[in-house]
Amino acid sequence: MYYVNLISNELFWLNGLTQQLEEYLTGPNNYIEQRQFTLTELANYTGANGTPAYAAVNGIIWVSYLKVPK
Residues 22 and 5 reside in one and the same domain: yes
pTM above the 0.85 mark?
A: no
Residues 22 and 48 reside in one and the same domain: no
Three-state DSSP state, 49? helix
Pick from 35, 70, 33: nearest CA to 49: 70
pLDDT digits (tens, 9 = 90+) for 8-67: 888 887 887 777 777 776 766 655 667 888 989 988 888 888 778 888 888 888 877 665
User: Total structural domains in the chain?
Assistant: 2
Domain range for residue 66? Answer: 34-70
Distance CA(40)–CA(12), nearest Å, equals: 43
